[in-house]
Amino acid sequence: MSIREDAQQMKLDAPTMAATGIDTRNDALRRVKEALIAHADVIFAANAQDLAAAQANEVAPQIVKRLRFDEHKLADVTAGIDQLVALPDPVGRATLDRELDEGLELRRVTCPIGVIGVIFEARPDALVQISTLCLKSGNCAILKGGRETANTNRVLFALIHDAAVAAGLPDGCLKQAESHADIDELLACDREVDLLIPRGSNAFVRYIMDHTKIPVMGHSDGICHMYIDVDADQGQALRLIVDAKTQYVAACNALETCLVDRAIAPVFLPRLADTCADAGVILHGGDEVQAFIPVEPLGEDGYRHEYLDMALTVALVDGVDAACDHINRYGSHHTDSICTTNTAHADRFCQLVDSAGVYVNASTRFADGFRYGFGAEVGISTGKIHARGPVGLDGLVTYKYLLLGHGDIVGDYASGKKRFTHRDLL
């Protein structure tokens, strides 16, 4: 079947999927976990093929790290599934219950979005996270992963789909797109697909937005900052910088720019240079930073560079407001952090920085759905509508209004025969 035919079938299956009970959806998740563990050797063998192909094609080391699906990644995704199972049902939750008049009740209840198309980078663990989140939230999903992990994705998808169907979910709960041509066909399915979630560069997300009528929730670059305030605990700041930069350099929440208050530059920059040298991190900066420590020059995109590698941009600023201005101007509105012992400075930073995640004395690497207790995430939205930050179950549901009456008509209220009481029941 073509992607359009798949999408048409999924549109028909979406109401059935939305109506499945939480016990059925949780059973599907448990079966997915069991299938992944039982077929680990098959998954790892497929992944070995992808890794060998990547090395033969001289794919960059930081990208190869994303491609790997090993025992550690399997443990992570299965732990995420356990976390998802333990979470309450996001569907059918009343967020408003109002008596408009006696015997006339208005409810606003959560419901699945419907059919979601997710286009994501070559990370096999992302396929597991995205598919299980969609299953738990009662959505049907078309999944398109990066071609570099085609073999791994194919095995994972088959295991997950078969486990979900065996639990009683409709066959159209999940479909897989594999070719680049499938993406263009998917973008044309505006009558069948309710939401697109692209993960990748700004250019890729912009391409998706410019070539579809489907609403798009974008997950783009992760140009994350850490501002070292004049009142920072400098030892703590260095520890946070190393974790945020090196714990997993290929992640979108890895640190890419370190902003340092000019007042502490003479003392802090040499310490930063020594610490980063020990950690294997190459520093980049302008002439002002070069006056204090040796740095490599900035690239063509200046302060808007996402390295995804063992490299870090350093810049000097005059105080909290200047740091916030720099972040809002050059950042990607992903996750940004301040290191300070000054509560007033921390509060100011949290107020002014316009990002999905704003942290105080914490590593940017915490920006993750699993670490937030969401079980997993379909991505980190850097937009503001309708979800922001790590998108878990709450970001995959919308709502509808239910009006429960007893033969009520508007004419009675328009004529003055009856009057609204508008009494909240929640």
Query: What pLDDT, in 10s, does the model give residues 51-110?
Result: 999 999 988 887 888 899 999 999 999 999 999 999 999 999 999 999 999 999 999 999
- Check if the beta carbon of residue 242 is closer than 8 Å to that of residue 275: yes
Please give the pLDDT value at position 253.
Answer: 94
Instruction: Give the chain's largest Cα–Cα span.
Output: 81
**What's the CA gap between 191 and 4, in Å, rounded?**
10
What's the CATH class of domain 3-219+379-401?
alpha beta
Please give the pLDDT value at position 200.
Answer: 76
Please give the pLDDT value at position 219.
Answer: 67
User: Which residues fall within 8 angstroms of residue 92, CB to CB, at 6 or more apart?
Assistant: 109, 110, 111
Please give the pLDDT value at position 220.
Answer: 65
Please give the pLDDT value at position 61.
Answer: 83
Please give the pLDDT value at position 66.
Answer: 87
What's the CATH class of domain 224-366?
alpha beta
**Angle at which helices 150-166 and 40-56 cross, to 10°:** 160
Delimit the domains of the chain by residue range. 3-219+379-401, 224-366
Encoded tokens for 30? 């448990």
Residues of the chain with pLDDT under 50: none
Rg value, the chain, Cα: 24
User: Which residues fall within 8 angstroms of residue 120, CB to CB, at 6 or more apart?
Assistant: 126, 127, 130, 143, 144, 145, 146, 197, 198, 199, 200, 379
